[in-house]
Amino acid sequence: MAAIRPADRIQRLPKQFFARLTAEAARYIEKGYDVINLGQGNPDLPTPRHVVDALCEAARDPETHRYPPFRGLPELKEAAARWYAEHYGVEVDPAREVAILPGGKTGLVEISPGLLNPGDVCLVPDPGYPDYWSGIALAGAQMVTLPLLEENDFLPDLSRVPPEAARRAKLMFLNYPSNPTGAGATLEFFEKVVRFAGRHGILVLHDFAYGAIGFDGYRPPSFLQVPGAKDVGIEVYTFSKTFNMAGWRLAFAVGHPDAIALLELIHDHYYCSVFAAVQRAGIAALTGPLEPVEEIRATYERRRDAFCGELEKWGYPHRRPAGSFFCWLPVPPGQTSEGFAARLLQTEHVVVAPGAGFGRHGEGYIRVGLLAPEDRLREAARRLARAYRAGEDRVAEGVSRAGAKDRISRGGE
């Protein structure tokens, strides 16, 4: 049998640690443990009925049984443009400034090979969504991280980007509400981004996956609401989170017409577009009643309140997320994120994502998905708090032992 030697670009790809999480959880479930899996970002609520009905009706139409236009149905592009006009006050040309994507991840990964040459620099949030790294690796480009620190409300400090990195950068990823931190951004922050990108000639890709999920009255702004944003960037909007269409593989990008044309050119070579019936369902989602969208958002807010309320009751330190369906929690002092996540699975049978999997500055945290009913989230919070207290006790015991040894070495008690 001939040996298969993957190309160098394949060897550069980062490891997919979410697959490992799934496998580890499955092993414990097979053993009969009561596992609460909060480690992935897979929405657990059903797609709104009117969207499902639209799919069924479209699938029965023979017109959808052929290849759709490579660059998507014009009617879907027009619906996306109306969505942005009605919800964000942003006017986009559906013919030149909207690209239909077979899932948001597709656009997030393929923009890098389409734009970056080997050695070019891409600025990436740290912690951030790991699939940004995949496209950069395929392009052979260099990744420079933007630290997201709690003291800065998990917003990057653009004034601290090394001048050489800013000079060489061609692309920057942002994502608010943030996966994994749950932080939100403001228009004032986006104004700084637009000025920074314009000054350095950088294309901004804002991953707006959680744009419909804000809490406590916070309505996440679109990056494109800032004057001049369309001159320096694009925004990727997925149906997965707003409409619970995660398995449907449908999204769109809006913004800079040259970047949109680049995405569409790549699609011409890779895809035959998305099944037309799914695109028609997407039109129904964007133009249909908004009550299901609000109910999805409200469900996540109730879940957040249930989970965080239980954490507060048991003394687990945390910050309530402003949006998304994730909580970003510190690990006990002296422990690593992978070590604490492994201990949670082993002793408490709760699956979480270790923060180190999202970048170097994710170390010291775990990500918890609010993707279970409220009673299960409360139970998970109790288990997490128990594990956190046990970790603190181990640290205190270690300090006590170290102090005793020190006293003995100095001739004390």
Strand partners for 92: none
Q: Give domain status of residue 380, yes or no.
A: yes
Q: What's the pLDDT band for 116 if we cut at 50, 70, 90?
A: very high
* Average pLDDT estimate for 359-384: 98
Residues 28 and 129 in one domain: no
Question: How many folded domains does the chain comprise?
Answer: 2
The answer to whether the CB of 21 falls within 8 A of the CB of 39 is yes
Query: Taking 90 as the threshold, does the pLDDT of residue 413 lie above it?
Result: no
Residues 313 and 279 in one domain: no
* Average pLDDT estimate for 141-168: 97
Which range marks the domain in which residue 95 is found?
Answer: 49-287
Please give the residue that has the higher pLDDT: either 405 or 122.
Answer: 122
The answer to whether the CB of 273 falls within 8 A of the CB of 72 is yes
- DSSP-based three-state secondary structure for 353: strand
pLDDT digits (tens, 9 = 90+) for 278-296: 999 999 999 999 999 999 9
Q: What's the pLDDT band for 87 if we cut at 50, 70, 90?
A: very high
Nearest CA to 36 out of 284, 306, 260, 348 is that of 348
Q: Give domain status of residue 54, yes or no.
A: yes
- DSSP-based three-state secondary structure for 47: coil
Using CB atoms within 10 Å of the CB of residue 271, give its burial: 0 to 12 exposed, 13 to 18 middle, 19+ buried.
middle
Query: According to the model, what pLDDT value does residue 6 have?
Result: 87
Helix (H) or strand (E) holding 282: helix 276-287
Using CB atoms within 10 Å of the CB of residue 258, give its burial: 0 to 12 exposed, 13 to 18 middle, 19+ buried.
exposed
Residues near 256 by beta carbon (within 8 Å), at least 6 away in sequence: 97, 203, 230, 231, 232, 233, 234
- DSSP-based three-state secondary structure for 164: helix
- The residue type found at 140 is G
CA angle 330, 209, 270 (to 5 degrees): 125
Q: What's the pLDDT band for 393 if we cut at 50, 70, 90?
A: low
* Average pLDDT estimate for 314-338: 97
Residues near 342 by beta carbon (within 8 Å), at least 6 away in sequence: none
The answer to whether the CB of 307 falls within 8 A of the CB of 321 is no
Q: The CATH number of the domain where 258 resides is what?
A: 3.40.640.10
Nearest CA to 41 out of 174, 213, 179 is that of 179
- DSSP-based three-state secondary structure for 408: helix
Give one DSSP letter per residue of 258-273, joined into a string.
Answer: HHHHHHHHHHHHH---
- DSSP-based three-state secondary structure for 142: strand
Query: Taking 70 as the threshold, does the pLDDT of residue 159 lie above it?
Result: yes
Residues 271 and 384 in one domain: no
Query: Taking 90 as the threshold, does the pLDDT of residue 351 lie above it?
Result: yes
* Average pLDDT estimate for 121-134: 96
Q: What's the pLDDT band for 224 if we cut at 50, 70, 90?
A: very high
Query: According to the model, what pLDDT value does residue 394 have?
Result: 64
Strand partners for 126: 147
Q: What's the pLDDT band for 407 if we cut at 50, 70, 90?
A: very low
Boundary of a domain, candidates 287, 309, 343: 287
Residues near 262 by beta carbon (within 8 Å), at least 6 away in sequence: 111, 114, 115
Q: The CATH number of the domain where 329 resides is what?
A: 3.90.1150.10
Query: According to the model, what pLDDT value does residue 398 have?
Result: 55
Lowest mean pLDDT among 17-26, 178-187, 245-254, 314-323: 17-26
Residues 143 and 204 in one domain: yes
Query: According to the model, what pLDDT value does residue 9 have?
Result: 86
